[in-house]
């Protein structure tokens, strides 16, 4: 794979040169059915001379076609990557039936793309070898910040193994990402690289930049004192059949105090199951109840896991606290926000409030069916990579 050479480091303070501010990223949202969608994206992206354009959503003319047109117009020096989504995050916060485009200028970014094929078959040995060659060919510049972006196929249901493989192949590299499927109906996604569909693959992007970067993560749940042991499960299909040796949905209804017939996607979003790993609890979100009384999850599960019922806390104040803890105001935050968080916000009448916060902190991204951060696959969590001016710029 041919790589673009790193942009020069902006200034050398040891020689007394003044450090200049690196070129900043940009993003916009366009209605998915807009007849001039490509033209609108180009008007914003072309002046950047972008190294990468990311697309999230379901354009009416098809993701592959839009990607091909953008690639042709922007030239071979710009990579174009995209996927479908359950909802988008644009300049005004949450949006629907839109395409969000993000551009990373080549003056301050370098990007490499690795396609990990056959995600559902989890060819770990092949992935590991591919990732190590990719990393060696990319040859990261230690003077610059680096991070990874993962766009996984949610329907393959293998993100836990995928992120563990990435973490082992590139230890220490911060990676954020999202599991993609189309719409809240959980339909197949369209992964795309440079105008070509990548069916059944996971897309890994390695990014190098003159900007400062920082991971952001926020889940709005605390553990309660109600716990359950998974006594029967289908690990491959992420289904819990029994909790505490009782039918899973029936026991979950007892733990939450919600009648079985009233369990809905919104109730599952409000009362998730938490799995403790180390000192942290990670959400194991419930997608649906199966016809025979099991619980279909969005993350891996095994018999013997001890799960704790989660209790929701403030969905907006904690998010603002996480953003305000950043060392500098972000130029943009590449964000992956679980669709179940968005459903819970809609039920609580807080969508506009959350959208205002997303706009304030310049978040751009999409709603996911699972999030990846710090070597973990999680649910009902916001994860992101904040792109900030370097210190002293």
Q: How confident is residue 283, by pLDDT bands cut at 50, 70 and 90? A: confident
Percent of the chain with pLDDT over 70: 95
CA proximity to 85, closest of 60, 56, 61, 63: 56
19 shares a domain with 125: yes
159 shares a domain with 109: yes
Residue 173: CB atoms within 10 A of its CB come to 15
In a domain, 4, yes or no: no
In a domain, 177, yes or no: yes
- Which of 12-16, 70-74, 246-250, 371-375 bottoms out in mean pLDDT, i.e. has the lowest? 12-16
- Stated pTM of the model: 0.87
Token pair, residue 181, equals: 């499927």
331 shares a domain with 279: no
- Which of 83-92, 171-180, 214-223, 247-256 bottoms out in mean pLDDT, i.e. has the lowest? 214-223
188 shares a domain with 67: yes
| Core vs surface per residue 211-226: b (16+ CB within 10 A) or e | bbbbebbbbbbeeeee
Per-residue pLDDT tens digits for 298-328: 888 999 999 999 887 788 888 999 999 999 9
248 shares a domain with 146: no
366 shares a domain with 237: no
User: Residue 76: its pLDDT value, please?
Assistant: 94
Domain boundary among 297, 312, 327: 312
Contact 265, 340 (CB under 8 A): yes
Per-residue pLDDT tens digits for 4-23: 333 333 333 333 344 577 89
Tell me how many domains the chain contains: 2
- Arithmetic mean of pLDDT over the chain: 91
Q: Higher model confidence: residue 269 or residue 227?
A: 227
User: Residue 17: its pLDDT value, please?
Assistant: 42
In a domain, 354, yes or no: yes
In a domain, 5, yes or no: no
| Phi and psi, residue 116, nearest 5° | -100, 105
In a domain, 338, yes or no: yes
* Segments forming the whole domain that contains residue 92: 13-218+317-388
231 shares a domain with 210: no
Domain boundary among 271, 291, 312: 312
Domain boundary among 312, 347, 377: 312
In a domain, 8, yes or no: no
Gap between the Cα atoms of 152 and 298, Å rounded: 13
User: Residue 19: its pLDDT value, please?
Assistant: 56
The CATH number of residue 306's host domain is 2.40.30
- Kind of pairing between the strands at 202-209 and 295-297: unpaired
In a domain, 7, yes or no: no
335 shares a domain with 277: no
Mean pLDDT of 223-241: 94
User: Residue 27: its pLDDT value, please?
Assistant: 98
127 shares a domain with 98: yes
345 shares a domain with 289: no
In a domain, 393, yes or no: no
80 shares a domain with 21: yes
- Please name the residues in contact with 61: beta carbons below 8 A apart, sequence gap of 6 or more: 37
Gap between the Cα atoms of 72 and 80, Å rounded: 10
Q: Tell me the CA end-to-end span of the chain in Å, nearest whole number.
A: 33
254 shares a domain with 322: no
User: Residue 4: its pLDDT value, please?
Assistant: 34
Gap between the Cα atoms of 355 and 99, Å rounded: 16
Contact 357, 388 (CB under 8 A): no
């Amino acid at each position: 794979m041919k790589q673009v050479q790193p942009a020069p480091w902006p200034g050398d303070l040891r020689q007394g040169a003044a450090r200049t501010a690196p070129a900043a990223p940009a993003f916009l949202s366009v209605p998915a059915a807009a007849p001039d969608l490509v033209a609108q994206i180009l008007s914003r992206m072309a002046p950047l001379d972008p190294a990468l354009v990311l697309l999230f959503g379901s354009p009416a003319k098809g993701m592959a076609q839009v990607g091909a047109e953008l690639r042709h117009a922007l030239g071979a020096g710009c990579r174009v990557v995209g996927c479908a989504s359950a909802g988008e995050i644009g300049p005004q916060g949450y949006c629907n039936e839109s395409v969000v485009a993000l551009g990373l200028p080549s003056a301050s970014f370098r990007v490499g793309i690795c396609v990990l094929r056959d995600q559902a078959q989890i060819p770990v040995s092949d992935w590991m070898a591919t990732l190590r060659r990719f990393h060696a060919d990319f040859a990261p510049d230690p003077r610059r910040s680096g991070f990874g972006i993962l766009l996984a196929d949610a329907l393959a249901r293998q993100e836990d193994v995928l992120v563990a493989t990435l973490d082992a192949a590139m230890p220490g590299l911060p990676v954020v990402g999202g599991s993609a499927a189309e719409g809240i109906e959980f339909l197949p996604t369209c992964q795309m690289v440079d105008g070509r569909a990548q069916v059944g693959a996971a897309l890994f992007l390695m990014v190098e930049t003159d900007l400062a970067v920082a991971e952001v993560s926020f889940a709005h749940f605390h553990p309660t004192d109600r716990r359950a042991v998974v006594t029967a499960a289908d690990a491959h299909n992420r289904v819990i059949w029994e909790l505490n040796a009782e039918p899973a949905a029936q026991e979950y209804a007892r733990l939450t105090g919600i009648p079985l017939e009233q369990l809905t996607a919104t109730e599952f979003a409000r009362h998730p199951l938490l799995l403790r790993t180390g000192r942290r609890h990670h959400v194991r979100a419930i997608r649906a109840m199966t016809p025979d009384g099991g619980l279909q999850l969005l993350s891996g599960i095994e018999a013997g896991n001890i799960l704790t019922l989660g209790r929701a806390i403030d969905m907006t104040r904690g998010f603002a606290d996480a953003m305000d803890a950043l060392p500098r105001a972000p130029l943009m935050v590449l964000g992956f926000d679980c669709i179940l968080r968005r459903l819970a916000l809609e039920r609580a009448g807080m969508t506009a409030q959350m959208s205002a916060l997303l706009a304030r902190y310049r978040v751009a991204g999409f709603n996911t069916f699972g999030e990846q951060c710090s070597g973990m696959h999680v649910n009902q969590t916001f994860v992101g990579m904040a792109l900030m001016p370097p210190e002293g710029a």
